[in-house]
Amino acid sequence: MYNTKIHSIVIRFFFFLFFCLIWQGVAYYLSAVPGPFEIFVDIIFLLRHDIIFNILISIWRVFVALVISLAFGLFLGLLSAQVPLLGLFLSTIFTPIIEALPPLAWTIICIFILGIGETSVLFIVCVILIQFFIVSTIEGLKNIDKNLVEMAQSFPLGQWLTLDKINFATRVNILRYVESGMIIPYILIATRLAYGVAWKVIVVAEMFGASEGVGYLLNQAYSTLSIKRLISLSTLVVLLFILGDCVVLKNINKRFKKWRV
Amino acid sequence: MASINVKSVFKHFGNLDVIKDLSFNIQNKEIVCLLGPSGCGKTTLLKIVARLIAPSSGTVSIAGTFGIVFQEPRLLDWLTVEKNLEIPYLVCGKKVNGERIKRMLKIVKLNEFKKFYPLALSIGMQQRVALARALLFDPDILLLDEPFRGLDVKIRESLEDDILLLSQSGRKSVLFVTHSIEEAIRVADKVVVVSRRPMKVLNTIQMPLGTKPRNAYSTKFLPFGKQIYDCFYQTY
């Protein structure tokens, strides 16, 4: 187990080295492209100055947008399982609009309606992420093991002999303690997908709809035509994504899958 | 007084008749084996008795609380054995009784495995957990749906002995659904032989009083075995 982990780290390191070599090769032939070392130095420079605040703002926005869209997506997914009309509305109107409209179009529309600021940025990201959680919740509910639900229903039926139907509180308990365990894997997959998309969308939203954040800095670099700064900031976004994915999401995933033998 | 009374039950799914005019009863502290070929509708009947599905017509009356053990253990794979036994309390909105869970685990001899996940246990052990779960609320009636199917003889007999011990010490009525004649002779007070689909009662055989488990191959019980066998194979 330990050896496999080390093995995987070594292989990843060589992949990274290989990527840097190719990058250096491209930089050698295209003088407009800065090399990896130059970018590394620029990132260190940025980290020593006031970029930390902007990074933290972007991380905070990704986190808040994920939490809000998870809560609303889960709620709408559960509700659409109970109210088929809502499910039909989401699949015929909501999802196609969200999927077809590019983040940039959303950003411009939202800036016109809500103005530049926190609300605009969060709204844009949430609107795009929410569909991941709605779809995954609906799929999770569709694939629930009916045998386990039947097993859970047998306890109240065996106890409360006067009840013809299981009451609302028991239904909620079955959802909370039995069905939730079967929906969680779907939510975890949706979270990982949404996390990647969140970074893409937040950068676009911040470029036009905010006055701080990594996206805002990218916009500034674009307006000064600094390709080095653009690549440094883009590399930072990739590093932040990898950090969040490895440190948080993979550990949450591992925690929920430790029962697999 | 725990009892079950099944009266003129019919069940059909669309055009498919599964149960046709089926009646039988289970008295207090009686172990009744419902014996029939695979796929004849025994599980459907057990679900009707447990009120998990409704009959098309007829009545089922149950006096007393019941616990059910299904064909498969139906454990939540993502929870440990101990947490699985908390599920009945949580679903019913009751306070988890840790002492009772400990006692049940001791009874089914799985105390050392309480922190294990179900997939790390053998099927026999998983079925023991399911049995402990069914007994948590100390029900008056146990409904068993071929719980030992697919287990080897030794484990099956050991689990049957557990059921007998639990039902005798706890004074429980048991409805045991099976397709094994040997299993029925070992544990039943009464054997209800049912036909292939649509399921109806072919014969009800009262077994002699005395100590259990019985040896199905002893000369004393061979005539019962033959009677059940003849009746059972009429269905093919």
Calpha distance A190→A74 (Å, rounded): 11
**B143-187 residue pLDDT tens:** 999 887 767 777 778 778 877 777 777 678 899 998 888 888 888
Chain A interface includes B222 (CB < 8 A): no
Helix axes A51-82, A214-223, angle to 10 degrees: 120
More confident of the two residues A48 and B88: B88
Q: Are strands B173-178 and B31-35 parallel, antiparallel or unpaired?
A: parallel
**Same domain (yes/no): B108, B203:** no
Judge: A158–B117 Cβ closer than 8 Å, yes or no.
Answer: no
Could you tell me the pTM of the whole model?
0.81
**Six-digit token string for A12:** 């990843």
A-B contacts at Cβ under 8 angstroms: 73
* Boundary-marking domain end, from B108, B138, B168: B138
Q: Tokens 């089914």 identify what position? A: B108
**Same domain (yes/no): B58, B106:** no
Judge: A155–B92 Cβ closer than 8 Å, yes or no.
Answer: yes
Give the H or E element holding residue B16: strand B16-26
Confirm whether B213 is domain-assigned: yes
Q: Contact, B180 vs B37, CB < 8 A?
A: no
> Which residue in the set A147, A258, A261 is minimally distant from B74, CB to CB?
A147
**Same domain (yes/no): B159, B118:** no
Chain B interface includes A177 (CB < 8 A): yes
Q: Tokens 């690549």 identify what position? A: A231
Average pLDDT of span B34-49: 88
Backbone angles phi, psi at B203, to 5 degrees: -160, 150
* Boundary-marking domain end, from B117, B138, B159: B138
Calpha distance B40→B178 (Å, rounded): 11
Q: Name the average pLDDT for chain B.
A: 86
Amino acid A161: pLDDT: 55
Chain B interface includes A180 (CB < 8 A): no
Q: Among A153, A159, A183, pick the best mutation site for testing chain B contact (most B Cβ within 10 A).
A: A159
Q: Which residues of B touch A181 (CB under 8 A)?
A: 76, 78-79
Confirm whether B162 is domain-assigned: yes
Q: How many CB atoms lie under 10 A from the CB of residue A53?
A: 11
Chain B interface includes A167 (CB < 8 A): no
Calpha distance A57→A61 (Å, rounded): 6
Query: How far is the alpha carbon of A174 from chain B, nearest alpha carbon, in Å?
Result: 6
Please say if the pLDDT value at position B231 is more than 80: no
Helix axes A103-114, A180-209, angle to 10 degrees: 70
Confirm whether B70 is domain-assigned: no
> Is the previous residue joined to A84 through a cis bond, with omega within 30 degrees of 0?
no
Using alpha carbons, list the distances in angstroms from residue A106 to A99, A103, A123, A206, B31: 11, 5, 9, 12, 68
**B99-148 residue pLDDT tens:** 999 998 988 888 899 999 999 998 888 988 998 999 898 888 999 998 87
Q: Which residues of A touch B85 (CB under 8 A)?
A: none
**Same domain (yes/no): B120, B216:** no
**Same domain (yes/no): B94, B207:** no
What percentage of chain B exceeds 90 in pLDDT?
29
**Same domain (yes/no): B172, B225:** yes
The closest of A69, A75, A25 to A175, measured between CA atoms, is: A75
Judge: A161–B68 Cβ closer than 8 Å, yes or no.
Answer: no
CATH number at residue A60: 1.10.3720.10
Query: How far is the alpha carbon of A255 from chain B, nearest alpha carbon, in Å?
Result: 10
Dihedral of CA atoms B163, B168, B172, B173 in degrees, nearest 10, equals 80
Q: Which residues of A touch B117 (CB under 8 A)?
A: 258-259, 261
* Boundary-marking domain end, from B121, B138, B155: B138
Chain A interface includes B6 (CB < 8 A): no
Chain B interface includes A256 (CB < 8 A): yes
Confirm whether B109 is domain-assigned: yes
Confirm whether A261 is domain-assigned: no
User: A165: burial class by Cβ within 10 Å (0-12, 13-18, 19+)?
Assistant: exposed
Q: Which residues of A touch B118 (CB under 8 A)?
A: 259
The domain of A217 spans: 40-256
**Same domain (yes/no): B146, B216:** yes
Q: Degrees (nearest 5) of the Cα angle A187, B126, B166?
A: 135
Q: How many CB atoms lie under 10 A from the CB of residue B77?
A: 17
Q: Comparing A123-132, A245-254, B162-171, which segment has the lowest mean pLDDT? A: B162-171
Amino acid A159: pLDDT: 76
**Same domain (yes/no): B171, B89:** no
Q: How many domains does chain A have?
A: 1
Q: Which residues of A touch B76 (CB under 8 A)?
A: 148, 178, 181
Q: How many CB atoms lie under 10 A from the CB of residue A10?
A: 10
Confirm whether A242 is domain-assigned: yes
Q: Contact, B159 vs B148, CB < 8 A?
A: yes
Chain A interface includes B76 (CB < 8 A): yes
**Same domain (yes/no): B203, B108:** no
Q: Which residues of B touch A254 (CB under 8 A)?
A: none
Confirm whether B225 is domain-assigned: yes
The domain of B101 spans: 75-138
Amino acid A166: pLDDT: 67
Interface confidence, given as ipTM, is: 0.86
Using alpha carbons, list the distances in angstroms from residue B5 to A105, A121, A205, A244, B22: 68, 65, 68, 61, 11
**Same domain (yes/no): B114, B219:** no
Confirm whether A15 is domain-assigned: no
**Same domain (yes/no): B187, B93:** no
**Same domain (yes/no): B61, B86:** no
Using 50, 70 and 90 to split pLDDT, how confident is the model at A2? low
Using 50, 70 and 90 to split pLDDT, how confident is the model at A51? confident
Judge: A173–B91 Cβ closer than 8 Å, yes or no.
Answer: yes
Calpha distance A197→A133 (Å, rounded): 13
Using 50, 70 and 90 to split pLDDT, how confident is the model at A160? low
Q: How many domains does chain B have?
A: 2
Confirm whether A215 is domain-assigned: yes
